Structure 1
């Protein structure tokens, strides 16, 4: 017999009758399933009764199992907050929403790679100027397209009310690495990635 706490189901896959082994030990398994028990400590008491076929001798033994159900058991995992991001167009028209950065900050004060060739000209631009960058066909224009998205990405990441996919440190590192390749395709590829993040949407 057994006493099963509320909220659990106990069952065994043992086949009966059983045969006593040479070690005078009988082992069987009992499985316990938590159906709807909440957090807490529970006790399962079981008494096993065996009747020897030849002598009709009855033998019993008991076992007590302590079951601990933790607070998180059975609860649905929290849904992750959706990522957010606002476009470079938003940031150039909403300067009052900027956090930690100023419109007059120079690009080369944030992205080190723009302090040297072939990006020195664009490195001298301010953040606001880069947000208005129109683009072009050469490597420096590709850098401008990337930096336009990168500045928007930084402003998104810095804002406490925007759940942006990247940190400021990650953005700066990724942009410097892309610029370091001096490969237009690589630079524009990162610009496209940041553009997607910057158009996830958010409400401020």
Structure 2
């Protein structure tokens, strides 16, 4: 008697591991502000600026998602090898099994393959990863031609970028650090400092820039302040219109050591102007007074340049004298003493170059256009505090 043995193959079995990772970048912004952006000051004033720097986390950005692991395919049959194709799936990913096509799974043994899933967009950070083996069930006499194995996935952070940032300032130096959070409320911090600037005279306003920077991201913001500095000084028009004869009784000359009737020739060495007459006055420069000089109109040529210089020069002389009498010094109030004003004017009048005369006049005019600060109740015989 013959017996017929029907051999039925057993299904392959699939197990797997799964490790999901991603990189996280922490996003930031920065803002710098100052309590005032413009100050008009007198020379020597100390101006305090209060700066505020705010940094705040704007969110997070994840990237470089990766899901990797091993797939183990076991063959429980002790009488036949099975050739199978191994695939892997995770939602949103493109998964590749290394050497996963036409894999020979030896009888009574197993194969173990590496796989990797990549993602263009953020996947679900938790889920199920499935590996599947498929083969020809007719060839291998198995009930089905497929088997799957699953692993639960939980993505974890791998690399962190800019989680801790450091804030520096172009003036104040290192301000501090801030550490980000992984969810709202986001991290933020405020840094403050003061900067004292002593006002120095410059013909144009001075701008001071300060920049705060996040070192790691190179983000920055700046705050600029402008200081326009003038001396404590008065224009030729002020001195011309504030004499003992002024109707309102506001006599500024009493705060100086000069009188309106003092002759130019008694104060200055008139040099090349000797014998010349200011336009429209009917008298020579030597016969003109300090008050006359403040009324000079100026014009072309040597005479015109002389008028312009003496108009500015007399105002500077009075400004210097004002501080010498009321403060005991010009230091911090006006750039030149009366002696220096006289010396500079005498020097250019001795040379007689109209261009040099006009250049000095322009310099003195810049100083004369200062802060008009005066209290008519001041006692001219008492120094100001």
Band of TM-score, shorter chain: 0.5 to 0.7
8 Å CA contact retained: 2:263, 2:290: yes
Task: Give the aligned partner of residue 92 of structure 1.
Answer: 240
Task: Give the aligned partner of residue 159 of structure 1.
Answer: 322
Residues 120-175 of structure 1: CA distance to partner in whole angstroms, max 9, x if unpaired? 72122011111000012121221111000011001100113571111001000000
8 Å CA contact retained: 2:265, 2:287: yes
In the aligned structure 1, how far is the partner of 2:273 from the partner of 2:315? 22
SS of residue in 1 equivalent to 2:342: helix
Q: How do 1:176-191 and structure 2 match up within 5 A? A: 176-191=346-361
Task: Give the aligned partner of residue 83 of structure 1.
Answer: 231
Mind listing any 5+ residue stretches in structure 1 that lack a counterpart?
Answer: 1-75
1:174 aligns with 2:347: no
Counting strand residues as a fraction of each chain, which structure ranks higher? 2
| TM-score, with length taken from structure 2 | 0.31
In the aligned structure 1, how far is the partner of 2:354 from the partner of 2:336? 23
| TM-score, with length taken from structure 1 | 0.57
In the aligned structure 2, how far is the partner of 1:102 from the partner of 1:115? 25
Task: Give the aligned partner of residue 195 of structure 1.
Answer: 365
Task: Give the aligned partner of residue 259 of structure 2.
Answer: 102
Task: Give the aligned partner of residue 150 of structure 1.
Answer: 313
In the aligned structure 1, how far is the partner of 2:307 from the partner of 2:297? 8
Counting helix residues as a fraction of each chain, which structure ranks higher? 1
Query: Which has the higher Rg, Structure 1 or Structure 2?
Result: 2
In the aligned structure 2, how far is the partner of 1:89 from the partner of 1:142? 18
* Residue among 106, 129, 139 paired with 2:302: 139
Mind listing any 5+ residue stretches in structure 2 that lack a counterpart?
Answer: 1-194, 201-229, 244-250, 278-283, 375-385
In the aligned structure 2, how far is the partner of 1:115 from the partner of 1:102? 25
8 Å CA contact retained: 1:157, 1:168: yes
Task: Give the aligned partner of residue 122 of structure 1.
Answer: 285
Superposed CA RMSD in Å reads: 2.5
